[in-house]
Amino acid sequence: VRTKQYWGIAKSYVVQSTRDAKASVRKAGVETLGRIGHLKQAASLSALRERLKDTNVEVREAVVEAAGRIARKAPVEAGMLLIALVSDPAPVVALRALILISRLSDKPALQTALGVALPGALGSPSEAVRSAALALLSRLPARKASKDLDRALAQAYQRAAPGTARALVLAEAARHQATSALAAAARSPYADEQRNALALIQRNPMASHAPTVVAALSRTDPGVRAAAVQAAGPLLPKAPAQLLPPLLRMAGDPASPLQGAALEALGKATTDLPNVRRRLVQAAQRADWNLRRSAARAFGHHPGGVKRLAPLLRDPALAVRRAAVQSLARWWAARPADRLARGV
């Protein structure tokens, strides 16, 4: 039955066949709806919705294909069917539904369907479905994740195998500003995953990452602590109340191997805070040239730091003088308003 004039005759037979006791008959009825469903969309979609929970997986597979066919004429309605099928317990059904959603030609329908379907697919127990969902997510423009997507990415991270699979999830979490997956990775028993999460936070700092970075500053692994200090620098202007206390402690601790790195992180503060300024000035006068070099680097970022570079430009240590010159050049390039105010 392929022509509109015969729909009245075919309707009762086709729709009734989708409810038959035999799975093979139901499957044939669903396949027929996929071929002629565009003629009477409402009746076809209603019959297909009845089969979303069919006990036979082959019938549900047929529903996916039928929805894909009808999507050419009714993308929104077919998209809703495909969204429901993404959560199907059979991976073959869920995966095919996800693929057909990605092929929707109507852009608003595609964006809506992906927004609803991707969180469920990322939380799927099937690795194939999760991988397909992650590949689709990587093709979407970067934007702040919804709460559902944030939770789903955290689930996907927990279910992924350690190594490349988890790294891919974390990359998408960072791109879409999803904090839960990165926080979970920073608590991982694997130091390399912790370092990877902190490196991603460093590239895209958000105030919501501050608790994760503060916790990482006290980890036992020295590499993780070093990565946390590096992440703390760019994050400091966004969450000073949380990050200043541990950084100040670390910068004032002569026994800490990360004292210099903490000083450089403090230089990222956007306001000239007295306690930060005092730490940097003290470091610039230390006997250890490594600390003086860190102070010189910090002054290149710190407000008002340029006027404290003059003594370091004459420092006996070449590395300190080089750092002071580089900081002066950075200030010259980054603060044209300050240059004009000083008549430079």
Instruction: For residue range 7-39, list pLDDT tens digits in order.
Output: 566 667 888 899 999 999 999 999 988 887 555
Q: Give 344's pLDDT tier (boundaries 50, 70, 90).
A: very low
The backbone torsions φ and ψ at residue 94, rounded to the nearest 5 degrees and listed phi first, read -60, -40
Q: Is the pLDDT of residue 57 over 90?
A: yes
8 A C-beta contact, residue 264 and residue 279? no
Q: Is the pLDDT of residue 51 over 60?
A: yes
pTM here? 0.75
CA distance 57 to 107: 30
Place of tokens 């939380």: 123
8 A C-beta contact, residue 93 and residue 65? no
Residue 142: its pLDDT value, please? 87
Percent of the chain with pLDDT over 90: 55
8 A C-beta contact, residue 159 and residue 125? yes
Residue 140: its pLDDT value, please? 84
Q: Is the pLDDT of residue 40 over 60?
A: no
Alpha helices in 71-124 (DSSP H): 75-86, 91-102, 107-122
8 A C-beta contact, residue 239 and residue 207? yes
- For residue 103, give both structure tokens: 């092929």
Residue 46: its pLDDT value, please? 86
What single DSSP character describes residue 146? Answer: P
What's the pLDDT tens digit per position in 202-261? 999 999 999 999 999 999 999 999 999 999 999 998 999 999 999 999 998 888 899 999
- Distances, alpha carbon 180 to alpha carbons 116, 140, 176, 194, in Å: 19, 20, 11, 13
CA distance 152 to 28: 36
Question: If you average pLDDT over every residue of the chain, what do you get?
Answer: 87
Q: Alpha-carbon dihedral of residues 133, 120, 85, 68, nearest 10 degrees?
A: -40
Q: Given CA atoms 48, 51, 52, 58 in this order, what sign does their dihedral have?
A: negative
Q: Give 96's pLDDT tier (boundaries 50, 70, 90).
A: very high
3-state secondary structure of 92: helix
163: left (phi over 0), alpha (psi -120 to 50) or beta: left
Cα Rg of the chain (Å, integer): 30
Q: Is the pLDDT of residue 329 over 80?
A: yes
Mean pLDDT of the 108-115 span:
84
Place of tokens 């099928």: 85
| CA proximity to 14, closest of 334, 284, 2 | 2
- Distances, alpha carbon 312 to alpha carbons 27, 125, 292, 316, in Å: 81, 58, 8, 9
- For residue 170, give both structure tokens: 């974390």
